[in-house]
Amino acid sequence: MKFNAIINVDDVHEMFNIDFNKTENTAIENGFTNAINHQEVGKMRYKHKNFKGFYISEWESVFNNNLTIEGAMDEPVFSLHFILQGQGCYAMADFETETSGGQSNMWIFQAGSKGGSSYKKESPFTSWAVNFDKSYFHDLVNRYPELLEDLYKRYRIGESFHWHPKHIRITPEVLNIIQQIENASMMGTSRTLYTEAKVQELLALQLECACAQTRISNTGIKTANDTDKIHEAKDVLLKDLNKPPTICELARIVGINEKKLKYGFREVYSQTVYGCLFEHKMNLARQLLLNTNKSIYEIALECGYDYASHFTTAFKRKYGLTPKCFRAAV
């Protein structure tokens, strides 16, 4: 897909053209990295990986001034879009929406759609997306019409939109799948097959999370305040991995009954309370194994396990490898 963009910066009179199809600086397998590093504008890196039927894109930026990037798509867009860090505002002819780290949605734009994205001064911003080719997405619609037909009908009548009015909260499970896709090179010759399977798993989770949000009004989660308490409960749950509260304690701390707490976690995060805790521990363990030289015992303690053997068993159940083998394989 070609997206020719113009950067417009407060207090900077130059205009910087970016062609997101050009390979600049760093060539990568089946894709490219395009970057700018300008003394007055700031830094931006766009990474693009091609697969059959879709491509994966990553965006990282930190700009020296408030900044808007304006442009147009020459092809339709069917995208699972995840904001991992920072805040931004997306504006098209049909809508305008603000996003922040930890939110996701499905975006569908018509070919020729014009719009822009705005970024705040000195605020790091990171996003990650799966972008489906029109033919591939059409095939998905034909295979799963009960899930995707309504979306496709809106596209066919000429709408550009983000699927769910309220952006979807990114769950630990979704973050885990994104990380698995990023580490797919470890699968060797099975990389492409593995990536496609994980992308479809990601799509399924996003569809389920969005559908769950639409059902909230018909469940024990009745108000925005109830939802806020579920978010607060997660923060409390993950605050001290060595002494996590019981469900009873957690409900009392945030001022909600146990039934609503348990049901709310399933609705908001598509996980049980302890499933969420486990996913967080495993994500933390994976990052510590990849990015530090800490011993297995030290990592086990940091992840809330008193015994390295218990940690190893849990990690192997999650990833299919012991922590030691996982670290060696990287």
Confidence of residue 41 (pLDDT cuts 50, 70, 90): confident
Confidence of residue 35 (pLDDT cuts 50, 70, 90): low
pLDDT at 26 over 70: no
* pLDDT given for residue 101 in this prediction: 92
pLDDT at 210 over 90: no
Among the ranges given (112-116, 247-251, 281-285, 290-294), the one the predictor scored with the smallest mean pLDDT: 112-116
Q: Quick one: what percent of the chain has pLDDT higher than 90?
A: 41
Three-state SS letters, the chain: CCEEEEEEECCEEEEEEEECCCCCCEEECCEEEEEEEECCCEEEEEEEEEECCEEEEEEEEEECCCEEEEEEECCCEEEEEEEEECEEEEEECCCEEEEECCEEEEEEECCCCEEEEEECCCCCEEEEEEEECHHHHHHHHHHCHHHHHHHHHHHHCCCCEECCCCCEECCHHHHHHHHHHHCHHHHHHHHHHHHHHHHHHHHHHHHHHHHHHHHHHHCCCCCHHHHHHHHHHHHHHHHCCCCCCCHHHHHHHHCCCHHHHHHHHHHHHCCCHHHHHHHHHHHHHHHHHHHCCCCHHHHHHHCCCCCHHHHHHHHHHHHCCCHHHHHHHC
Task: Dump pLDDT digits (tens) for 112-132.
Answer: 888 888 898 899 999 999 999
pLDDT at 295 over 90: yes
For domain 3-187, the CATH class is mainly beta
pLDDT at 218 over 50: no
Task: Dump pLDDT digits (tens) for 229-270.
Answer: 999 999 999 999 999 999 889 999 999 888 888 888 888 888
- Select, from the ranges 9-18, 70-79, 286-295, the one with the highest average predicted confidence (pLDDT): 286-295
pLDDT at 214 over 50: yes
* Location of each CATH 1.10.10.60 domain in the chain: 216-329
Task: Dump pLDDT digits (tens) for 55-111.
Answer: 999 999 998 888 888 877 788 889 999 999 999 888 876 678 889 999 999 999 888
| CATH assignment of 216-329, among 1.10.10.60, 3.40.1350.10, 2.40.50.100, 3.20.20.140 | 1.10.10.60
Please give the average per-residue pLDDT across 309-315, as a whole number: 92
* Location of each CATH 2.60.120.10 domain in the chain: 3-187
- Higher-pLDDT residue of 212 and 18 is 212
* pLDDT given for residue 157 in this prediction: 81
Confidence of residue 226 (pLDDT cuts 50, 70, 90): confident
